Amino acid sequence: MASKTVFISNAPIPNPEIASWTNRYTKLIRGNATVFDYIIAPEGIEIISNVKYSFINEPSFLAYKIGKFIPYYKHKVYWIALKNIINSTTSVTIHIIDNPNILFAINYYANKNKLRNKIKVVFHMCGYNYNFTEIQKNIFYNVIDTLIVQTNSSINYQKKEIEKGTCHVFQIYNGIDGKKFFSIKQEEKVILKKKKNITAEKLIFLWVSQDRPKKGLTIILKAWVELLKTVKNIELLVIGAAKTNEIKNVNWLGKIPNHELPEYYQLADFYLFSTQCNEGFGLTLGEALKCGTTCLASDIDPMKEILNNELYGRLVKEPSNPDSWMQTIKEEIKKYSDNNFENVYLKNIPNKIYDYKDWSTSILNLIH
């Protein structure tokens, strides 16, 4: 019986919803159907051909109630699926994507069934940290064999957390599809603006994120109101957030399908990444960089690394202060206009920056 490699996800693969890591791993598996012997995940509306699935049911209301009394019960379904695979092989290497609760459940039930020695764990961390308790931290870093993170900033953070742990840490930058996200010429921007019914004569600012306070949209809107007192020829496009109130020169676009996003990055003159917390990578910031948009981001790790210490874009030194954003935006508008309305940082940005091909090559090498 040969050893098996198992991919474990709490979301369907493929996933019909907008989610960065599911899209990335779906693309990886579509192009390399045999990279994993099994996928353990909820059943979606589509499956990838030539892949062996072991579908699990989402925890029921009863499972959540029982879970209050029995440790990790609501995630036991992942262990049941994995146990069936373990019984048919000598050992398994499991890849768990960004869900520590699944890891804790599998570790608990594997120990209980005296099968833990047959499992190696590779954990793919998409965030920056999980704010664990000391007990959770000791379990997490001691049951993982390999931890994959997205930035060197995250490695530095993890090494502080991992002092008493036994796992190895690898860094692989997020991968963005260069066939979809790429820069265009200024005259093409004008055509694209007209296509989207956006005033071509205005400087276009773009904000893209989920509608959560830690993403900093409220701060951007406060800065925008003040900015409009002295700068008139600008418009802000907001994608992913529900309209909160009527603000001059703000265009609320709501949710946009993934396949339409590249055109908005391409037509924008500036991209605002106003996160108020540490992020695993900052995917939309990477997408905007690949599309040649002038990027302004919060000076919070790991954004300094993503922007290569301001070689690729500008950091806002006081990201929670609307005045800091307003002043930085005004300075960057002047640089932009003085440079014939071209991105002054573009000459420093590698053509294949944060590219999907580099990510997939590194992931496949690690798996093999």
Question: Do 232 and 313 reside in the same domain of the chain?
Answer: yes
At 311 the pLDDT is 98
Query: What confidence tens digit (pLDDT) does each residue in 311-321 have?
Result: 999 999 999 99
At 357 the pLDDT is 95
Mean pLDDT score, 187-201: 91
Question: Do 171 and 307 reside in the same domain of the chain?
Answer: no
Mean pLDDT score, 18-31: 85
Domain count, the chain: 2
Question: Do 361 and 298 reside in the same domain of the chain?
Answer: no
At 160 the pLDDT is 82
Q: Is the pLDDT of residue 17 over 70?
A: no
As a whole number, the mean pLDDT across the chain is 91
Q: What is the CATH number of the domain that holds 192?
A: 3.40.50.2000
Give percent above pLDDT 70 in the chain: 96
Contact in structure between 283 and 260 (CB atoms under 8 Å) = no
Residue 15 falls inside a structural domain: yes
Contact in structure between 280 and 149 (CB atoms under 8 Å) = yes
Q: Which of 46-55, 80-89, 119-128, 164-173 has the lowest mean pLDDT?
A: 164-173
pLDDT greater at residue 49 or residue 327:
327
Q: Is the pLDDT of residue 363 over 90?
A: yes
Question: Do 140 and 199 reside in the same domain of the chain?
Answer: no
Count of residues making up the chain: 368
pTM of the model: 0.91
Assign 1 a pLDDT band (cuts: 50, 70, 90): low
Helix residue ranges per DSSP H, 43-151? 61-66, 76-86, 100-112, 134-143
Instruction: Give the structural domain span for 194.
Output: 186-348
Residue 128 falls inside a structural domain: yes
Question: Do 137 and 202 reside in the same domain of the chain?
Answer: no
Query: What confidence tens digit (pLDDT) does each residue in 89-144 have?
Result: 889 999 999 999 999 999 999 999 999 999 999 999 999 988 888 888 888 999 99
pLDDT greater at residue 3 or residue 264:
264
Contact in structure between 120 and 145 (CB atoms under 8 Å) = yes
Question: Do 324 and 362 reside in the same domain of the chain?
Answer: no
Question: Do 242 and 136 reside in the same domain of the chain?
Answer: no
How far, in Å, CA of 102 to CA of 74, rounded? Answer: 9
Residue 86 falls inside a structural domain: yes
Question: Do 157 and 30 reside in the same domain of the chain?
Answer: yes
CA angle (9, 170, 139) in 5-degree steps: 60
pLDDT greater at residue 166 or residue 120:
120
At 19 the pLDDT is 58
pLDDT greater at residue 210 or residue 250:
250
Assign 64 a pLDDT band (cuts: 50, 70, 90): low
Query: What confidence tens digit (pLDDT) does each residue in 99-112 have?
Result: 999 999 999 999 99
Residue 329 falls inside a structural domain: yes
Residue 181 falls inside a structural domain: no
Q: Which of 61-75, 170-184, 223-237, 336-350 has the lowest mean pLDDT?
A: 61-75
Q: What is the CATH number of the domain that holds 79?
A: 3.40.50.11930
Q: Is the pLDDT of residue 228 over 60?
A: yes
At 258 the pLDDT is 82
Question: Do 155 and 239 reside in the same domain of the chain?
Answer: no
At 3 the pLDDT is 86
Q: Is the bond leading into 59 cis (omega within 30 degrees of zero)? A: no
**φ/ψ of residue 38, rounded to 5:** -140, 150
How far, in Å, CA of 214 to CA of 358, rounded? Answer: 30
Question: Do 152 and 193 reside in the same domain of the chain?
Answer: no
Q: Is the pLDDT of residue 245 over 70?
A: yes
At 21 the pLDDT is 87
Question: Do 154 and 112 reside in the same domain of the chain?
Answer: yes
Query: What confidence tens digit (pLDDT) does each residue in 290-315 have?
Result: 999 999 999 999 999 999 999 999 99
Residue 139 falls inside a structural domain: yes
Question: Do 147 and 229 reside in the same domain of the chain?
Answer: no
At 244 the pLDDT is 79
DSSP 341: S
